[in-house]
Structure 1
Amino acid sequence: MDESRKYLLRAREKFDVLNLSYWFLGTSAQTPDRMTWLSTYDETYTSIYMRDFSPLGDPAFNICFSRQLPLDWAEVRASDNSVEEIHHVAESFGIGRQGISIPIRDEGFGHAMFSVNFECEDRHWGEMRQVLANGLHLFAHYFHQRVKDVISQRPLSGDFELSPREREVLKWAADGKTAWETAKVIGLSERAIRLYTENAMAKLRAKTKTQAVAIAVKTGLIN
C-alpha cells in the first residue's frame, strides 16, 4: 500500500491538482467489510476525519454511490448542511472546497470512490470540473484495478490499514515509549500522538494501547 500512496503522490503532480483520494468499500465474501483509504491528504486531517466523521457520517458516500456520473462536492454541500463542518475542517488542512468524486462499481468485489481536489475561483470551476472529470475518469478506474489485488491479499487486521504515522506511533509504544516520549522523538505534540494512537486502536478494534500494539505485531503491521 505504501507504493500505491507514492503512486498517488506522483499522479497529483502530473495532473496538477491539490489532492487525490481513493476509498474502497468491500462488499464480497473475499473482502467482507474491508475498507481502504489511500490519499494525498494531510495525515493529521485523515485521523481527525476518521475520529469525528468517517464514511458513516459523510453524506458524500451515499450520494456518490447512488449515481453513475462524477459527483461535484458543491452538490453535497447544497443537499446536506452537515457537510459544511467536514469541509470546514478539511479547509483548515489545506484541502480546497472544489472537487469531484467518481463512483467505481466492481460487482462481486466492492465499490470505490476516487476523488479529485482542486482550487480555483468559483467562476472557473465549471470549466475545470469538466476537464478533471474527463482527464481522471479512466485513471480512477485504472488505479482501482492496480490496487484491488493488493486489497484482497491484505490480512483482515482491522477496518483500515494503519497509516505510516499510526504505525510509527505503535512502534515506539512497542518499545515502551510514553506518548510524551514519542512526541519528543517524532517532533509532534503529545496531543497528536494520542490522536494517532486512538485511531490505530479504533482501526484494530483494540480496547487498550497495549492490545493495539499486540495486534499490530501479530498481523505484521509493525515489526
Structure 2
Amino acid sequence: MTNFTQISFDLISEIKQSNCAEQIYSILDKSANIFGYNTFVIAEAPLKSRDMLQDRLMLARWPEQWSERYGEQGYIHHDPVVAHTRRMTGPFRWSEAPIGRDERLARIIMGEASEIGLRDGYCIPIQDLTCTRIVSFGGSHLDLPDQAASGLHMLGIYADLTFRALTSAAAKRREAGPGAPRCSPREIECIKWAAAGKTGWETSEILSLSHRTVESYLNTAAQKLGAANRVHLVAQALRQGIID
C-alpha cells in the first residue's frame, strides 16, 4: 500500500529546498506519476474582465493546444472551477464546482477539456488579501484516497508558497543590487508584445517563432525580473527601464 503521507512529506521537503521555478516544476512533474494527474497549474484568479490567461498564469504543465484555446477564448472568465475557487477555502474536485449562470459556455469548456483527457481534477484555492490563487491538478481520472488527497493538498500549498517566496526574494536582490537584470533581445521583444496586449500565440505569429519558444522567453524573463505573472513581468520591465 502506497504511503502517500510519507511521500508527500518527502516531496514537500524537496520543494522547500528549491531555488528556482524550474525545480518546482520538475518536482510537480515527477509527482504526476505518484498521484495520477497529467496536468498542473499555479495561477491567480482574474481580477478584471480584461485579464488574460497569460496575465494570471505562473507555472503550468498543460497541453499546448488547450492552453492556446483556453487563452484565446477567454475561458478563464467563464470556467466554473475558477469561479468556485473564489467561494472556497478548502480543496475540491472539479465535479463539485457549480455550473453557474452561464451554463452553455461552462458546459462547452468542460466538454472541450474532457475531449483532450481533462475529465477530472483536484483544485486548491488559496485566499489572501489581494487575490485568490489557484493550484489545480487534472487528468482523465484521479483516484485519490483521503491520504493522497491530503498529501496533494499540502504539496500544492507548498509549491505556491515556495514559488512566491522565490520570486519575491529575487525581486529584493535586484532592488538591492546595481543596475537592471539583463534580458536578451528576444526576451525584450516578447515582453514588448506582451505589454501591447498580445497573447503568447499572437506574439509567436508576429515573430515567426513557436508558441513554446515565446513562452520560454517570457518565463525566463519573468524569472530574471522576479515576476509572478505576465502583468507583473510587464510592470517590472517598465519600472526597470527594460521597455518603455
What's the TM-score bracket when you normalise by the shorter of the two chains? 0.5 to 0.7
Name 2:56's counterpart in structure 1.
35
Match of 2:208 among 168, 179, 182: 182
Q: Does 1:22 align with 2:45?
A: no
Identity of aligned residues (%): 16
Contact 1:77 1:84 in 2 (8 A): no
Q: Secondary structure at the match of 2:37?
A: coil
Q: Is 2:80 the partner of 1:59?
A: yes
Q: SS of the residue aligned with 1:91?
A: helix
Residue 105 in 1 paired to residue 108 in 2? no
Matches within 5 A, 1:99-138: 99-106=121-128, 108=129, 110-120=131-141, 128=144, 130=146, 132-138=148-154
SS state of the match for residue 136, structure 2? strand
Structure 1 residues without counterparts, runs of 5 or longer: 28-33, 156-165, 197-202, 205-213
SS in 2 for 1:89: helix
Q: Distance in 2 between matches of 1:219 and 1:89?
A: 39
User: Is it true that 1:148 corresponds to 2:164 in the alignment?
Assistant: yes
Paired residue total: 172
Return the letter of the residue paired with 1:13.
N
The within-5 A match list for 1:174-213 is 179=205, 182=208
Equivalent in the alignment of 1:70 = 91
TM-score where L is the length of structure 1: 0.57
The 2-side partners of 1:26 and 1:82 are apart by: 17
Cα deviation, residue 17, structure 1: 1.9
Given the two structures, how large is their TM-score scaled by the length of structure 2?
0.53
Aligned to 2:112: 89
Higher RCO structure, 1 or 2 (CA under 8 Å, sep 6+) = 2
Q: Which amino acid aligns with 1:49?
A: Y
